[in-house]
Amino acid sequence: MRHINSYINGFGTAVPDHIVLQQQAVDFMTEALQFDERDRRRLSALYRQTRIDQRHSVLPDFNRQFGEFTFFPNTPGMEPFPTVSQRMSVYRQEAVPLAMRAIENCLDDRKQEEESDTFDRQQITHLITVSCTGLYAPGPDIELIEALGLPTTTQRLAINFMGCYGAFNGLKAADAIVRADPEAKVLVVCVELCTIHFQKKTEVDHLLSNALFADGAAAVLVEGQPRSDKSLMLRSFYCDLLPEGKAEMAWHISDFGFEMTLTSEVPAYIEKGISQLMDQLLERSDLSIEDIGGFALHPGGRKILEVIEQQLGMTAHDNRHAYNVLRQFGNMSSATVLFVLNEIWQQLRTDADFTAFEEAVIPDHKPHVLSCAFGPGLTLESMILDVILPEPELVSVKSSSASARA
């Protein structure tokens, strides 16, 4: 019997239009928390240490002056502070349009395969939605079916409230579906509006959360056959749990939004568990760390990336895709790791000089990508993806054909 694999054949990302520079965020937080100049300087130092330059939000308030807010009250202390109901109203209004932008980018990317620019979205058989920053029913899954014009018989799965590692569960579900039915075409979309849950609290973990989190959406298309030009094969997954760290990262619904607990101890717990996690993942993949040619780590924060580098013997250059996403977009919860993988995906372009291209994209001819993310529990999720590219002679043939047609 033929061994069945699943392949990521399309990527799409999207962020809201409102760009918030970190210094603008400091100004907003200073006003919201009514900090004096001394506390403002401390807050500014914390924001600089994140290595984030800017983030995006569906709310315009974070780069507006007091008195110009449209969501938060223009009153001292922002009272009455927005309720869960008001925040969920924003989620219902903004989540699906943002998700649709990511999906349209994903489907456009899928159409870019040479001689296959007629991919029909009606072929999509399954829709998997991932989110931890809002929920309602009938939910985004049904609204997306309608917005995409998909058949009402399209199968749906909603993965909710799992935090930053939620994309892995979406990909594992898509992988299982395709392995069971090679003709399936599974659309996975993560959409997170973290900034609507700003908490007006001065505890260090709340200050850190407000300095890191942002809004964004990402979508991938998983199929049973690779594209002719490039694909990422879902090779293997591995998950572990560190219950002793469950108090260090949590996500609870309060009267005034969803409250994130993210303590400074999280990197220490990840440092303790990451080596064993990677050993188990690599063992079940029949690989060693030396076989890995690329890394797509969830940038939960600068310190988390640094401790993983130390434990795995990585360099900052090895981890450059995560740092690029962290710098430009911050932590968008479940969508973030797909942004990191998208950075690798965008480099996978066929080139007439295949040798130079291959070496640039897959150092030392190691077509394996290691990816991991972390979330409440403390949960550690990981996977190996294999880069699938055409043989060099096929690239030369395609290049010659293209020149002849020109």
Nearest Cα residue to 230 out of 394, 83, 102 = 394
DSSP notation for 154-195: -EEEEEES-GGGHHHHHHHHHHHHHHH-TT-EEEEEEEEEGG
Measured CA to CA in angstroms, residue 64 lies from 59, 200, 236, 353 at distances of 10, 17, 45, 49
Length of the chain: 406
Strand partners, 260: 251
Nearest Cα residue to 192 out of 124, 140, 232 = 140
Amino acid at 284: R
Distant-in-sequence, close-in-space partners of 349: CB < 8 Å, separation ≥ 6: 229, 230, 357
Measured CA to CA in angstroms, residue 347 lies from 185, 350, 389 at distances of 24, 9, 12
Kindly tell me the burial class for residue 163, based on how many C-beta atoms sit within 10 Å of its own C-beta (0-12, 13-18, 19 or more).
buried
CB 26 within 8 A of CB 47: yes
Strands 155-160 and 126-131, bridge-based pairing: parallel
Distant-in-sequence, close-in-space partners of 173: CB < 8 Å, separation ≥ 6: 128, 157, 159, 186, 188
Amino acid at 2: R
- The reply to whether 194 belongs to the active site is no
Query: What is the chain's percent helix, strand, coil content, to nearest 5?
Result: 45, 25, 30
CB 376 within 8 A of CB 361: no
Measured CA to CA in angstroms, residue 162 lies from 55, 153, 334 at distances of 22, 26, 8
d(CA 19, CA 287): 41
User: Of 106, 132, 164, 190, which residue is the catalytic one?
Assistant: 164
Instruction: List, by residue number, the catalytic residues.
Output: 164
